[in-house]
Amino acid sequence: MKYTIKQAYVISLFMLICVTTMCGCGQKKELSFETSYIIETDLDPEMRRMTYTETAEVINTGSDSTKTLYFHIYGNKFKGLRQVEDGDIAVLSVQDQNGNELQYQREQEGVLYCVELGQALEPRQSVELTFACEVLIPDLESMYGVSRDGDVQLPMFSLQLAMHDQNGWDIAPLPENGDGRYGAAADYDLTIRVPEAYLLACNGDELSRQTSDGITTYTYRAEKRRDIVVFACEDYALLERTVGSTAILGYFNETADGVTRQHMEYVMDCAAFALEYFNGLFGEYPYDTLVVTNSALGTNFSPNMEYSGLITILFGSQEFSMKQNTFHEVAHQWFYGLVGNDEIREPWLDEGFSDFATGLCLDADGKEDYPFWELKKISSNAAAGEKVNVPCDKASAYQQIVYDRGAVFLKTLMDAVGHEKFLSVLSDYCQKYWYGIATTEDFLEILQEGTDADISDIVAEFVE
C-alpha cells in the first residue's frame, strides 16, 4: 500500500506518540530509597566524648539517578545548634564501599550533610557510605547532652537519609516550632561500648550485653524505626510491665530531682494502660519493647518527648499531668512512629492525632473528672479561622492550632460521622500507611471512602 506524504506524516507522528507513551518519556522521574544503618559506637560519659562509624546502605528504588545524597543529623538541632567545639555531632570523613573518600558539605549548623557520590546511583542500584563521626557532648539544654543529674541523652545522634518526595529533597532549614523530623522507617543495627558503671536505655531490642576490662558492649536491633536513640546513666532503676507481646521497660534515674518510686510506678501503669488501649484502637504495636524514661533536667525546658519505641516523661509535676503526657507520648508511637508524616509541612498529623488519642484514652480511663475536650475547644476557638494543616513556620499559635485545634477537628469529625464508624476509619488509615508516610489528603480520602456523612463544611472550616 502506498501513502501520500501527508498520510505518512500522520502515521509517523502517531507511532512517535505511541512509542513515547510506552517508554514513559515526558513523565516526571522520581527518586525514592530504602535504607538501613549499621552503627559502631564508643561512648565515654566522663570525657563527654563519643566516636562512631555509621554505614548507610542506600538502595535507589526510584526511576531516576542521582550523584547527590542528603543526610540529616537531627540531634544537632536538639542540642541547641552549638558550634563544633562545643557539642557538635561532627562528620570527619565519608567513604564509599570501595574505600574511596567522598566530598561532603556541612550545612545548617550540622543538621544537614550533602554527600557527592563518585558516580551516579542508578535505579535498582545500591551504595554503602561509611561516615566517621565524633561527638563532644555538651551540657543538656533541653533534649541533647549531659543533664545536671548525670544522665546522658543522645537522641537521634546518627545520620539519616533525607526524604525525597514530590517536592524534591527535604533540605529546607528546620523551623523553630515543632520537632521538624521527616524520615522513612529503616532498620538500625547498633553496637555501643560504654564503661560498665553505666546502664543504657535504647529504643532498639537488646540482643546481647557483654562486659570485659571494665567496658560493657551492648548490641541492639531496631527494625522499621524512624530513628535511633541512646540514653546512659549510672543510677538507672529498671521497672517492667507486659502488654500482649510487648515488654514496657522503664529506666528511671532514682537520684534525679523530682523522680520518686511512686511516680515511676504510676507512669509505668499509665503507659501500660495506653498501650493496651491503643492496640485495640489503631492496630497492634509491632515492637517487642517500649522504653520509658524520665526526662532529664537541663539548663532549659526539659520536655516530654517521643521517639520511635521510646518516650521520656517529665517528673515532678502533678500525677494527672504525667498521665496525660504519658498517654500523649504513647499515642505518638502510632502517629509519627508507625504512620509517618512530614512534621514540618503538616505537624498536625502527629501532634493533633496524638492529642485526639489522648482525649480518647482519658475518656476510657475515666478516673478523673477533667474537662479535656472543653479546654481543647476553648483553645481551638481562640484560633478560630486558622487551618490545622499549616506548616510549622506559618503557625501563628503553634500549640493552639497544631495540637488543640487538630484534636478538636478530629473530635468534630467523629461526632458527625459516628463514634464507631470514625474509629474504624482511623484503624483503616493506620493499616494503609503502617510504616509509611501519610498526608492530610490521604486521611481525608480514607475518611470519605469510609462514611456517607456530609463532612464538607467541617473540612472547609478546619483544612486548607
pLDDT tens digit string along 127-170?
A: 999 999 999 998 998 889 999 999 999 999 999 999 999 999 99
Q: Of 94, 86, 309, 95, whose CA–CA distance to 186 is shortest?
A: 309
Domains 30-192 and 348-462 agree in fold: no
pLDDT of residue 394: 86
Least confident of 140-149, 202-211, 233-242, 283-292: 140-149
Residue 138 phi/psi, 5° resolution? -85, 175
Q: How many Å apart are CA 138 and CA 82, to the nearest integer? A: 9
N-to-C CA span, the chain: 60
* Triad 368, 371, 373: Cα angle to 5°: 125
Q: How many Å apart are CA 91 and CA 317, to the nearest integer? A: 39
* Residue 321, CB-side half-sphere exposure with 13 Å CA sphere: 8
Q: How many Å apart are CA 461 and CA 409, to the nearest integer? A: 9
Structurally, what CATH architecture does the domain formed by 235-333 represent?
Orthogonal Bundle (1.10)
Q: How many Å apart are CA 397 and CA 377, to the nearest integer? A: 15
pLDDT tens digit string along 391-409?
A: 998 888 999 999 999 999 9
Q: How many Å apart are CA 215 and CA 423, to the nearest integer? A: 49
* Residue extents of the structural domains in the chain: 30-192, 235-333, 348-462
pLDDT at 22 over 70: no
In this structure, the number of other CB atoms found within 10 A of the CB of residue 173 comes to: 14
pLDDT of residue 79: 63
In the structure, what pLDDT confidence band is assigned to residue 225 with cuts at 50, 70 and 90? very high
pLDDT of residue 77: 86
pLDDT of residue 300: 81
Contact 98, 117 (CB under 8 A): no
In the predicted model, what is the mean pLDDT of the chain?
A: 91
| pLDDT > 70 fraction of the chain, expressed in percent and rounded | 92
pLDDT tens digit string along 408-456?
A: 999 999 999 999 999 999 999 999 999 999 999 999 999 999 999 999 9
Q: How many Å apart are CA 179 and CA 68, to the nearest integer? A: 25
Contact 153, 95 (CB under 8 A): no
pLDDT of residue 26: 35
pLDDT at 299 over 70: yes
In the structure, what pLDDT confidence band is assigned to residue 318 with cuts at 50, 70 and 90? confident
pLDDT of residue 87: 58
In this structure, the number of other CB atoms found within 10 A of the CB of residue 418 comes to: 13
Over residues 368-378, the mean pLDDT reads 95
Over residues 110-121, the mean pLDDT reads 96
Q: How many Å apart are CA 144 and CA 79, to the nearest integer? A: 5
* Dihedral sign from CA coordinates of 443, 448, 453, 456: positive
pLDDT at 12 over 70: no
Q: Of 327, 295, 294, 292, whose CA–CA distance to 310 is shortest?
A: 292
User: What three-state secondary structure class fits 77?
Assistant: helix
Q: Of 408, 440, 419, whose CA–CA distance to 339 is shortest?
A: 440
CATH topology of domain 30-192: Immunoglobulin-like (2.60.40)
- Name the CATH code of domain 348-462 (choices 3.40.50.1820, 1.10.390.10, 3.40.50.300, 1.10.40.50): 1.10.390.10
According to DSSP, the residues that pair with 187 across neighbouring strands are: 36
Q: How many Å apart are CA 239 and CA 249, to the nearest integer? A: 6
